[in-house]
Copies of this chain bind each other. A is one copy, B any other.
Amino acid sequence: MKTLIVHAHPEPNSLNGSLTDLAVATLTGAGHQVQVSDLYAMDWKAVVDAADYGAAASNPLRVALDSGRAFRTGTLTPDVRAEQEKLLWADTVIFQFPLWWYTMPAILKGWVDRVFSYRFAYGVGEHSETKYGERFGEGTLAGRRALLSVTLGGPESHYSARGINGPIDDLLFPIQHGILYHPGLEVLPPFVLFGADRMSVEDYPDVAKAWRERLLTLETTDPVPYRRQNFGDYEIPSLHLKEGLETPGHSGFSLHRHA
């Protein structure tokens, strides 16, 4: 595999730091190639602004159009172009981060906001009566796979079907489906560590064993079966799931996956 690890934690000597170190060691030890984007170590610029598009920035700034123009003319900033090249090099992308306020830390959201530019990660492909752009199953990153590795403070029960925070699969849907599947990445089931705040050194060997097992079986793990947009499941252009296709009992986010 060619694996890109996007790492978003401020402390190298943390659970997240250990999991990324272990992933590098495990994957390279198994003969795979690995690149790491350690966003804090890179001092990653998290905020989209006109400086991202240089001379291509319009006045007033129009983020989508300007980022698309800069992408097409090769004038996005070098940090963003380097990340886009890593994504195109990789066949597997791992995101390692703590869940802060039920989603990714700002530095990682800023990686998405800047790297997933118009014409690269969205606004790709033509529209017709049978096609609404190339996305959700097609797109620039099709043929690649992604995996979230997430630590969170609360216990699993709080993130279960009846738990007060909402089910973890639903909390991750806007990331897994909205951010990753949108430009074509197939999404593997996430590696989630609950109760990270209460974890002790004694708990780590079991965590490490589970993480190593996930890493060494990535190639044979089936992705989450999200429905592809342009292959008959959705009305065009409303993008409503066609009546009768849903799995009984599914609604909301879960409509958009096969059973």
Q: Which A residues are within 8 Å of any B CB, using their own CB?
A: 10-14, 40, 44, 46-50, 60-64, 98, 100-107, 109-110, 112-113, 116, 136, 153, 155, 157-158, 160-167, 170-171, 173-174, 177-179, 197, 229, 234, 237-241, 251-256
Given contacts A106-B112, A162-B241, 13 further A-B contacts (CB under 8 A): A11-B62, A46-B107, A48-B100, A64-B153, A103-B103, A105-B109, A106-B106, A106-B109, A160-B240, A163-B239, A163-B240, A164-B240, A170-B252
Closest residue of chain B to A197 (Cβ to Cβ) is B64
In the bound complex, how far is the Cα of B173 from the Cα of A10, in angstroms? 27
Within the complex, which residue of B47, B102, B238 is in contact with A106, where a contact is CB–CB below 8 Å?
A: B47
Chosen A-B contacts, 8 in total, with CB atoms closer than 8 Å, are A63-B98, A64-B153, A101-B178, A136-B164, A163-B240, A166-B174, A166-B178, A166-B256
B100 touches A113 (CB 8 A): yes
A170 touches B106 (CB 8 A): no
Q: Closest approach, in angstroms, between the C-beta of A196 and any C-beta of chain B? A: 10
A105 touches B166 (CB 8 A): no
List the B side residues contacting A166 at CB < 8 Å. Answer: 173-174, 177-178, 252-253, 256
B157 touches A240 (CB 8 A): yes
Copies of this protein chain in the complex = 2
In the bound complex, how far is the Cα of B229 from the Cα of A218, in angstroms? 39
Closest residue of chain B to A121 (Cβ to Cβ) is B101
Closest residue of chain B to A165 (Cβ to Cβ) is B178
A162 touches B60 (CB 8 A): no
Closest residue of chain B to A61 (Cβ to Cβ) is B11
List the B side residues contacting A110 at CB < 8 Å. Answer: 46-47, 106-107, 110
List the B side residues contacting A63 at CB < 8 Å. Answer: 10-11, 98
A48 touches B10 (CB 8 A): yes
B46 touches A164 (CB 8 A): no
In the bound complex, how far is the Cα of B237 from the Cα of A157, in angstroms? 9
Known: A102-B174, A174-B171, A179-B102. A255 touches B162 (CB 8 A): yes
In the bound complex, how far is the Cα of B8 from the Cα of A55, in angstroms? 23
Of A12, A105, A237, the most chain B CB neighbours within 10 A belong to A105
B255 touches A252 (CB 8 A): no
In the bound complex, how far is the Cα of B107 from the Cα of A109, in angstroms? 9
B239 touches A106 (CB 8 A): no
In the bound complex, how far is the Cα of B101 from the Cα of A64, in angstroms? 12
Closest residue of chain B to A166 (Cβ to Cβ) is B253
Known: A46-B106, A167-B252. A60 touches B239 (CB 8 A): no
